[in-house]
Structure 1
Amino acid sequence: MVEYMEAAPGGRTGEPAGPQSRRERRAEEAEIAHACERLWGDRDFVRLRRRYALLCGLLVTLFLSGYLTHLLLSAYARDFMSIRLADPVNVALVSGLGQFLLVFFLAWAFSSAARRWIDPLAARVRTRMETEHRPGEAAR
């Protein structure tokens, strides 16, 4: 009973500290590594990574182009930015507030696109991997 109460080499308590637990842990880690290798070669997972990268790249590009446009107009088109639209409001103020709107719009667009294109594919990959590999089954 004392064996189970001592900390295992990995620092976990409640597990046997003997060589059997290490062997089981190594088998578990090897099974997880094989599952990860299978995942990286899975066609749906590759499609998932590409969709995510494309979506993130597109949204980051849109954000940076909007921000750099505002920045460059503020630095080099002072006459344009100082045009008054209302008594205390000029183009620079509207453009600056537009940056907040752009960020909120891009966050909404990411959420919407992820829900439509990424989440169903991720759920399919997750369920396939969960059915193929259940933790603890490899060592038993």
Structure 2
Amino acid sequence: MTARQHDASVYEQAQASERFQELKRRFRAWTFPMTAAFLAWYLLYVVLSGWARDFMGAKVLGNINVALIFGFLQFVSTFGIAWAYSRHMEKKIDPIADEIRHEIEGRTE
């Protein structure tokens, strides 16, 4: 068996392991719903901007209207999701990924 074949089999074994499957499950369990929620929120903004112009143009405070507030909240939600993603990865994903990486590095050396 060549070194390349050995490396491939190590990575294939790691991918088939229970820990790797848990890693993928945890990643998908957070990212898929969060992506769907963000896309729904973004599309709501687009749809309201296109078809609910009176609502979006309603003045809230001075020249600040609902559309401006929704636009600002798009930025806030983007940064909030990035922060939550970072915390989730640090707590739930990175420890498992580090374990798997150390295991693989031990097998390939």
TM bin (shorter chain): over 0.9
Q: Is the 8 A contact 1:44 1:121 kept in 2?
A: yes
What's the counterpart of residue 10 of structure 2?
35
Q: Distance in 1 between matches of 2:89 and 2:54?
A: 41
Q: Distance in 1 between matches of 2:51 and 2:32?
A: 27
Give SS of 1:85's match.
strand
The correspondence for 1:61, drawn from 33, 36, 58, is: 36
CA RMSD between the two structures: 1.2
Alignment map for 1:5-84 (pairs within 5 Å):
27-84=2-59
Which TM-score applies when normalising by structure 1? 0.74
Cα deviation for residue 49 of structure 1 reads 1.2
Where does the alignment leave 5 or more consecutive residues of structure 2 unmatched? none
Q: Which runs of 4+ in 1 moved over 2 A?
A: none
Q: Is the 8 A contact 2:11 2:104 kept in 1?
A: no
Instruction: Specify which structure has the bigger relative contact order, considering alpha-carbon pairs within 8 angstroms and separated by 6 or more residues.
Output: 2
User: What number of residue pairs does the alignment pair up?
Assistant: 109
What's the counterpart of residue 101 of structure 1?
76
The correspondence for 2:99, drawn from 103, 106, 124, is: 124
Cα deviation for residue 83 of structure 1 reads 1.1
Which TM-score applies when normalising by structure 2? 0.93
Q: Distance in 1 between matches of 2:12 and 2:75?
A: 42
Tell me which protein shows more helix as a share of its residues: 2
Please tell me the residue identity of whatever aligns with 1:31.
H
Where does the alignment leave 5 or more consecutive residues of structure 1 unmatched? 1-25, 135-140
Cα deviation for residue 101 of structure 1 reads 0.6
Percent identical across equivalent pairs? Answer: 32
